[in-house]
Amino acid sequence: MQAIKTGLVQQSNGENIQANIKKLEENIRQLASKGVQLIVLQELHNSLYFCQTEDTDVFDLAEPIPGPSTERFGKLAAELGVVIVTSLFEKRAPGLYHNTSVVLEKDGSIAGKYRKMHIPDDPAYYEKFYFTPGDLGFEPISTSVGKLGVLVCWDQWYPEAARLMAMRGADVLIYPTAIGWESTDEEAEKMRQREAWVISQRGHAVANGLPVISVNRVGFEADPSGVTNGIQFWGSSFVAGPQGEILVQGSSNNEENLIVDVDLARSEAVRRIWPFFRDRRIDAFENIVKRYID
């Protein structure tokens, strides 16, 4: 497949999980009606971003894989003939939970899954309380639209993760995301944060000669504890081409369904003129696996 007609669902969520899922389904149907082949959803899309606090009751939201969400979105994928990239709170075993992206093939089957490898632990992003780091490695998921290098949110700051996906033959890098501003930050700081987020992922596109798809949620979500002023998710979902060029980008404050053609053939053309893989000094990279070099 030389080009993938791709859809991004940038959505705000509320406390009612069934209402959130219904809205997701409506957005997926809307995109499918326009001929989209690949649909990417945001991180933990069924619920509010619950990691603003540490609450043991929240573990009740987790589900097995396969489970209710893979069945529901799988049926939708089969009905519409689309590939869907989901992002779920996985209950693997008692006391063992992951932040897991599941890719559903256009026949409704599970094409593969990726468990988030890098887990943050910052004010309003207490993910280490909920998620065990992934153990599936950086393996692209083979689908009818290509090999999808699926990573999740905090993974997007790590060039090593993108590189390993590319080295494994990924056709595209995909990042379901939940990131935003704390309201007390000054406006200039907010802009620096969002631009750093975009630049980092565009850099992965350039360094690996691959398209990047990043889908973020949007809207305000309060901190249930009242310790912080909550998170204003900055949206700005985008797709970059293999030279880092922005192909489409959403707004910072509106729910949107974005559609773009992702040309996979350009990756080969770009890698021929920018042969970064050819010139990598793999004989001198042994220290990259160390935490720090004294």
119 close to 126: Cβ distance less than 8 angstroms: no
**Cα–Cα distances in Å, from 111 out to 70, 71, 74, 190, 253?**
11, 13, 10, 37, 32
DSSP class of residue 16? -
Strands of 141-143's sheet in order across: 141-143, 146-150, 172-177, 212-216, 238-240, 246-249
Q: What is the rounded CA–CA span in Å between residue 291 and residue 140? A: 25
Residues 43, 105, 127, 221: which is the catalytic one? 43
Contacts of 206 (CB under 8 A, 6+ apart): 242, 243, 244, 274
Distance CA 84, CA 15 (A): 23
For residue 271, report the phi and psi dihedrals to the nearest 5 degrees.
-65, -25
Annotated catalytic residue, options 90, 113, 153, 221: 153
Residue 147 is among the residues annotated as catalytic for this protein: no
Of the residues 90, 106, 116, 221, which is catalytic? 116
* Residue appearing with tokens 């489409």: 248
For residue 198, count other CB atoms closer than 10 A to its CB: 17
43 is catalytic: yes
Four-CA torsion 258, 263, 267, 268, nearest 10 degrees: 170
Specify whether 153 is catalytic.
yes
Active site residues: 43, 116, 153
